[in-house]
């Protein structure tokens, strides 16, 4: 906590990137997503530790900004997962011609370039506290996968399947959609629709 306090003392702003997984995702999709004021209910160690990080940042980082994102993909991929979801699934579809993808988990796939621009903008406006910054619109992992395979002209079948919880796998929220009443009230511009961002990502690789 001392390191967090030192940041503020040196005039630096702490930005903690958090996740939509802090919610349990049990809200029906038709009822919309979770806003900044909704109570988190993490269902995995990952989500629990991210939520603890949020509390630490807000408690000890003077003027800290906590930003919850969702379904990130970008040019540099995720180090821990070995590349981003779009590239991993595209390669698998090219190889096997068939994929199974969960159709009951909804999210807002977000291009990291858009999130980065949103973060820089929020900091430039000296935003503090908790905000949700995700792509506009929402889709299931199945819809997302069909979209990026189609946009690349990859001919593969994508079988929609229901979520099953394998032993040792984190419990992911079914409704992972975030609303952003606080971000809107603060005047932060919305991120563009996930399909438009996906098209630009694929064209800019």
Ligand X SMILES: NC(=O)c1ccc[n+]([C@@H]2O[C@H](COP(=O)([O-])OP(=O)(O)OC[C@H]3O[C@@H](n4cnc5c(N)ncnc54)[C@H](OP(=O)(O)O)[C@@H]3O)[C@@H](O)[C@H]2O)c1
Provide the annotated active-site residues. 46
Q: What's the closest the beta carbon of residue 108 comes to ligand X, in angstroms?
A: 10
Question: Exactly one of 44, 78, 152, 163 binds ligand X (CB under 6 A); which one?
Answer: 78
The residues, ordered by sequence, that sit 6+ positions from 46 with a Cβ below 8 Å of its Cβ are 19, 21, 170
Contact 173, 43 (CB under 8 A): yes
Residue span binding ligand X (CB under 6 A) among the ranges 5-13, 29-37, 68-76, 138-146: 68-76
Q: Under the criterion CB under 6 A, does residue 71 sit at the interface with ligand X?
A: yes
Task: Tell me how many residues contact ligand X (CB under 6 A).
Answer: 10
Contact 152, 92 (CB under 8 A): no
Name the DSSP letter for residue 11: T
Name the DSSP letter for residue 83: S
Q: Which is nearer to ligand X, 110 or 155 (CB)?
A: 110
Q: Under the criterion CB under 6 A, does residue 70 sit at the interface with ligand X?
A: yes
Q: Which is nearer to ligand X, 156 or 178 (CB)?
A: 178
Tell me how far CA of residue 171 lies from CA of 28, 86, 183, 190, in angstroms. 17, 21, 27, 28
Question: Exactly one of 25, 42, 69, 173 binds ligand X (CB under 6 A); which one?
Answer: 69
The mark string for 19-58 relative to ligand X (x by CB under 6 A, - otherwise) is: x------------------------------x--------
Tell me how far CA of residue 49 lies from CA of 17, 22, 29, 100, in angstroms. 12, 9, 26, 30
CA 108 to mean position of chain CA atoms: 7
Which parts of this chain interact with ligand X (CB under 6 A)? 17, 19, 50, 69-72, 78-80
């Amino acid at each position: 906590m001392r390191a967090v306090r030192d940041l503020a003392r040196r005039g630096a702003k702490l930005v903690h990137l958090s996740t939509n997984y802090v919610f349990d995702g049990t809200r029906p999709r038709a009822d919309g997503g979770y806003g900044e004021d909704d109570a988190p209910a993490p269902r995995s160690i990952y989500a629990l530790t991210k939520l603890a990080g949020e509390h630490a940042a807000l408690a000890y980082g003077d003027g800290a900004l906590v930003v919850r994102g969702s379904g990130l993909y970008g040019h540099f991929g995720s180090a821990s997962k070995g590349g981003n979801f779009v590239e991993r699934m595209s390669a698998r579809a090219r190889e096997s011609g068939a994929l199974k993808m969960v159709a009951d988990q909804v999210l807002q796939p977000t291009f990291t370039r858009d999130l980065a621009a949103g973060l820089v903008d929020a900091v430039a406006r000296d935003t503090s506290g908790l905000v949700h910054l995700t792509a506009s619109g929402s889709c299931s992992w199945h819809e997302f996968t069909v979209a990026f395979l189609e946009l690349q002209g990859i001919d593969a079948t994508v079988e929609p399947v229901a979520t099953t919880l394998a032993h040792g796998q984190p419990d992911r929220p079914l409704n992972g959609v975030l609303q952003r009443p606080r971000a809107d009230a603060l005047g932060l511009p919305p991120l563009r629709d996930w399909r438009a961002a996906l098209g630009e990502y694929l064209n800019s690789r």
